[in-house]
Amino acid sequence: MAENQNRKRILIRTSLIGALVGSFFPVLSFLARKDPEILFGIICTAPLFLGLCAYLVARMRMQAEDLLINKRTEQKVNGQKKLLETILNNLPNIVFAKDYNNGFKFVLFNSAGEKLLGLKNKELIGKSDFDFFPLEQAESFTKKDREVFETGRTITIEQELIQTPKGERILKTVKVPTFKADGKPDLLIGISVDITEDIILQKKLEEERGRSLLHSKLATLGEMSAGVAHEINNPLAIISGNLELMKRYREDPEKFEAKWKASEKSIERIAKIVRGLKKFARVSDQPKLVLSRVSGILQESISFTEARAHQNQTRIQLDDRTTASVLCDPLEIEQVIINLINNGIDAAKSGPEPWVRIEAFEETGEVVIRILDSGPGVSRDVESRLFEPFFTTKEVGEGTGLGLSISKGILSQHNATLGLNRSLSQTCFEIRIKSHTGQL
Ligand SMILES: Nc1ncnc2c1ncn2[C@@H]1O[C@H](COP(=O)(O)OP(=O)(O)O)[C@@H](O)[C@H]1O
Ligand SMILES: [Mg+2]
């Protein structure tokens, strides 16, 4: 408006000067014709008059230019403001700014923020957390805001629960302090992402993982049950034979004692197998990471697969060169190794003198565990699908196709890897996990 008035004023002034100069000439020429002295006076004052006119025109031109520059600057600023508004209001993230010097009252709130809180910008600006959230929550938010300025650093709040008209939402918020030119605190900028869906998905995946793990464990237990039954049957037969004999040796304490001791050993053997089964069937929601010796894990895994190997006339060899420990849930790593040994037994059993070898060594801060077998190997076709859940080449009832995918999942939770090592002549599955030498 002011700019339009200015422009009008300049136009009127320019026209007036023009009219004044224009109307002077006929008047002056009329006067000059009457009196030659006036002509002389006109000639003498003409430069002054023309100079004045030129000055006025130049000044007005400058004013007009200033006006143009102002207009362009204003247009530019408006354009930038609009661009910023467009960006802010189309961001999926919630962006807000609070004034440190005015009780952390909101000075900016973008559309995503309005949507989340179900309030309009004008209802939010000038208000503080205390106007929207329960006292305790508002206090905790403000405490964090102060902390941001006390430390002068950006703070990330991984998860904060807030009440909205749509119910409880979980936000991840980054709070950034900004300072004035003199170093005094100014605005607090906040950027929040609604991670509610991600958290729900993560929970679902964890549940799913737990279920698949149980599924795979039950399947492995099924695969191994024949071997386990065989393992339990042997000591049971020994015990029942011993009981028969003990009836007869009632009068001979020495023989009685010997059979008693032998029976106790067999019972201990059965108990060990049952303990192993119970341990194996356990489902943990989260891996419980502890420093565990690799050698212990290998021993435990082998002891659990021995029965099945024995049943399939497969020799299990162990070449353990490790002294290191790894940070892991030992039961989960044992399950991976058991899966790999079982796969090895399945692959090797059809050939003559089947064997499965477990090699373990340390290499550049990692523990490498290899499970090799005398089987026919993995074809390229099968290799590309090895880690797909439910991919199996085994008969129905023999394989679930879950062993390798679950194993890979377990290892990636441990920041470890599982792969097929093609550089060796025998089938070789290789685990690599960070070692913790000397920390146990
Ligand atoms: N050591 C191995 N030698 C040859 N093939 C293997 C070996 N280990 C796994 N495989 C192949 O990978 C497939 C998937 O293995 P896995 O996920 O453990 O499921 P499953 O053992 O139930 O079939 C197997 O069916 C088999 O074809
Ligand atoms: Mg398997």
Residues with CB under 6 A from ligand 1: 339, 343-344, 347, 373, 375, 378, 382, 386, 391-394, 399-405, 427
Q: What is the pLDDT of residue 439?
A: 43
Q: Which residue has the tokens 């029942």?
A: 240
Tokens of 392: 């199996």
Residue 191: is its pLDDT beyond 90? yes
Cβ-count burial of 280 within 10 angstroms (0-12 exposed, 13-18 middle, 19+ buried)?
A: middle
Four-way CATH pick for 208-434: 3.30.1490.190, 3.30.565.10, 3.40.50.1950, 3.40.50.620: 3.30.565.10
Query: Is the confidence at residue 39, as pLDDT, over 90?
Result: no
Please check whether residue 130 is in contact with residue 143, taking contact to mean a CB–CB distance below 8 angstroms. Answer: no
Average pLDDT, rounded, for the chain: 86
Distance CA 43, CA 379 (A): 111
Helices 196-248 and 294-311 pack at an angle, to 10 degrees, of 60
Per-residue pLDDT reduced to its tens digit, 138-188 = 999 999 999 999 999 999 999 988 888 888 899 999 999 999 999 999 999
Q: In the prediction, which pLDDT does 437 show?
A: 67
Which tens digits make up the pLDDT trace of 123-137?
889 999 999 888 988
Cβ density class 60-72: b for 16+ within 10 Å, e for less: beeeeeeeeeeee
Q: Which ligand is nearest to the CA of 408?
A: 1
Q: Give 51-99 pLDDT, tens digit per residue.
A: 887 888 788 888 888 888 888 889 898 989 899 889 998 999 999 999 9
The number of the ligand nearest the C-alpha atom of 305 reads 2
Per-residue pLDDT, averaged over 14-34, amounts to 73
The Å distance, Cα 209 to ligand 1 centre, comes to: 20
Crossing angle of the two packed helices 330-348 and 196-248, in degrees rounded to 10: 70
Tell me the CA–centroid distance for residue 319 and ligand 1, in Å.
Answer: 23
Instruction: Examine the pLDDT at 285 and tell me if it is beyond 60.
Output: no
Residue 400 Cα: closest atom of ligand 1: 22
CA neighbor of 437 nearest in space, from 287, 300, 294, 289 = 294
pLDDT tops 70 at residue 287: no
- Which residues, 6 or more positions from 110, have their beta carbon under 8 angstroms from its beta carbon? 88, 89, 91, 94, 95, 96
* Averaged pLDDT, 97-112: 94
Non-local (6+) Cβ contacts of 21 within 8 A are: 53
Mean pLDDT of the 259-263 span: 91
DSSP E strands in 47-139: the ranges are 94-99, 105-109
CA of 284 to the centre of ligand 1 (A): 24
Ligand 1 atom closest to residue 342's alpha carbon, by position in its atom list: 21
Ligand nearest to the CA of 370: 1
Query: Could you tell me the CA-to-CA distances from 60 to 4, 6, 20, 65 in Å, in that order?
Result: 15, 11, 16, 9
What is the Å distance from ligand 2's center to 399 Cα? 6
Give the span between the Cα atoms of 439 and 195, in whole angstroms. 37
Identify which has the larger pLDDT, 179 or 389. 179
Confidence of residue 336 (pLDDT cuts 50, 70, 90): very high
Q: Where exactly are the structural domains of the chain? A: 2-79, 91-194, 208-434
Whole-number pLDDT of residue 279 = 63
What pLDDT, on the 0 to 100 scale, is given for residue 194?
Answer: 93
| CA-closest residue to ligand 1 atom 19 | 401
Q: Mean pLDDT over residues 332-344, rounded? A: 93
pLDDT score, position 440: 46
Chain position carrying tokens 């300025």: 149
Atom 8 (ligand 1) nearest CA: 343
Distances (CA, A) of 430 to 142, 201, 364, 368: 52, 31, 15, 7
Does residue 283 surpass a pLDDT of 60?
A: no
- With bands split at pLDDT 50, 70 and 90, how would you rate the model's confidence at 281? low
Of 343, 349, 350, 424, the residue with max ligand 1 atoms within 8 A of its CB, to mutate for a pocket test, comes to: 343
- Cα 402 to ligand 1 centroid, rounded to whole Å: 9
**Which DSSP symbol is given to 395?**
P
Q: In what order do the strands lie in the sheet with 185-194?
A: 105-109, 94-99, 185-194, 167-179, 155-164
Q: Which residue has the higher pLDDT, 119 or 26?
A: 119
How would DSSP label each residue in 332-348? HHHHHHHHHHHHHHHHH
Instruction: Tell me which residues have their CB within 5 A of the ion that is ligand 2.
Output: 343, 403
Quote the ligand 2 centre to 199 CA distance (angstroms).
31
Determine the distance separating the centroid of ligand 1 and the alpha carbon of 393, expressed in angstroms.
7
Least distant ligand from the CA of 345: 1
> What pairing do the DSSP bridges indicate for beta strands 315-320 and 355-363?
parallel
User: Which tokens belong to 41?
Assistant: 């006076």
Q: Which fold has domain 91-194?
A: Beta-Lactamase (3.30.450)
Q: Is 434 helix (H, G, I), strand (E, B) or coil?
A: strand
DSSP E strand boundaries for 56-118: 94-99, 105-109
Mutate to test the pocket of ligand 1, among 339, 380, 404 (most ligand atoms within 8 A of CB): 404
Q: Which ligand number lies closest to the CA of residue 406? A: 1
DSSP string, 39-58: HHHHHHHHHHHHHHHHHHHH
In the beta sheet, which residues pair with residue 108? Answer: 97
CA 130–ligand 2 middle distance (angstroms): 58
Residues 193-226 have pLDDT tens digits of 999 999 999 888 888 877 777 777 777 677 667 6
